[in-house]
Structure 1
Amino acid sequence: MFDDSTLQSLVWLDYRLAVIFTVIVPLILLIWAFVQKFEAVQRLLVIYWRVASLLAITVYLAIASLPISFLTGGLARILIPISLWFWVDLNDEIDDAPRKPLKWVLTSWRWAITVYCFLGVLFQLPAFSCATLSREEVISTTTCRVWLEAPWGYKAMFHPNTPTELLGFLGIVGLVAYVLCLLYFAFVRLAKQGRSAMG
């Protein structure tokens, strides 16, 4: 579909957009919500950060070139919009709140990240085949390797002296914990509380 240089440019653009939409903006919104004492937004963003932690886990899996990182990255893009729109009580409370800049920015961000995640999943579809390869094949295949360059750059910047295997192990531990929490939510909490975030 794309030549190697174009794909590389688009993947790096995707990572830059991810930093903006999934880290910087929600962090600003969370701080803003605490300053404004807007509890529904605080609650929504705490849920968001729990769900979006799968992106951080994916980075550590990708640092170790683990093929499963291609699946977890795609799953994160699916779960994030769901986590932002799923809760009936929070949606109602935010909708009923007075029109303030925080409410407008939050709503704009929710729509923007929903569109970004949807387009991101479509863009990443060809890379999902990398999840079926061995670690060595992932590293040697150009279309897979290009998705690992940003996580490798992250390692060089923040963990230059940490063994790659250790970071990959931490990613695996994080993924196991994430899956256990997700299963608990799906089979216990959701059955008890439904679409109510406040219980």
Structure 2
Amino acid sequence: MPQIWFRPYVWMDYRLTLLFALIIPLILLIWAFVQQSEGIHRLLMIYWRVASLLAITAYLMIGGMAVSFISGLIARFLIPISLWFWVDLNDEIEYQPNSLLKFVFTSWRWAMTLYCALGIIGFAPFVGCGFSGNALKTPYCSVWLEAPLMFKDYFHHNSKPALLGFLGIIALIVYVAYLSYFVMIKLGKKGRSATQ
């Protein structure tokens, strides 16, 4: 494969995603559960539901599906919204006593928001890869598939990429159906309250 000047940045993005979108929130979720911090725990559960689109995107990329570029960009939009949208949870977290958990969680929330904003800017030029299956064969687009394919080699060694891509499509359909239900029905009833 020809050398692409931005390949190190793509790999850095995947490493940062692993840190900010998986490792830190998993630690925070366990910590919030142990500390019985209901507001942080509830907000992290909402985060995990929304951020599952990143995992779906990885499976779509393993399958070589062009739609993965669109789902990846949408995930970067939805994650910060999920972290700041809920008025009642924001108030509950804001007014709870200061603690190390609250400080780390708030720091992560701001860092994740900044990371997603920068990710949108950095990923936007590649959205065109999502509108053409042939574009995925170019080094410009295929560089984004390298990390998901390496993930496949480690965790799904005996699985066919087409099967994993199919599972990604099924998961994407379920995700879009649930998101549509939430936006069209639940949001109208609950508004910006996560606890009603």
TM-score by length of 2: 0.97
Distance in 2, matches of 1:180 and 1:140, equals 30
- Fraction of identical pairs, as percent: 55
Task: Name the residue aligned to 1:144.
Answer: 141
Pairwise CA RMSD: 1.0
1:154 paired residue number: 151
Taking the aligned partners of 1:91 and 1:139, their CA distance within structure 2 comes to 41
Determine the C-alpha separation between the residues in 2 that align with 1:140 and 1:40: 45
Q: Partner residue of 2:7?
A: 8
Structure 2 residue matching 1:130: 3-state secondary structure: helix
Q: Could you tell me how far 1:139 is from its partner in structure 2?
A: 3.5
**Distance in 2 separating the partners of 1:6 and 1:45:** 36
Which residues in structure 2 correspond to 1:79-98 (within 5 Å)? 79-98=78-97
Shift of 1:126: 1.1
Q: Shift of the alpha carbon at 1:4? A: 4.6
SS in 2 for 1:6: coil
Structure 1 residue 6 displacement after superposition? 2.8
Q: CA deviation at 1:163?
A: 1.1
Question: Does the Cα contact within 8 Å between 1:65 and 1:138 map onto a contact in 2?
Answer: no
How many aligned residue pairs are there? 195
Which residue of structure 1 lines up, in the alignment, with residue 21 of structure 2? 22
Structure 2 segments unaligned to the other structure (5+ residues): none
Consecutive unaligned residues of structure 1, counting only runs of 5 or more, are none
Where do 1:68-147 residues align within 5 Å?
68-134=67-133, 137-147=134-144
Aligned partner of 1:182 among 179, 183, 187: 179
| SS of alignment partner, residue 160 of structure 1 | coil
Residue 151 of structure 1 aligns with an amino acid whose one-letter code is P
Kept after mapping to 1: 8 A contact 2:87/2:192 = yes
**Alignment pair present for 1:198 and 2:191:** no
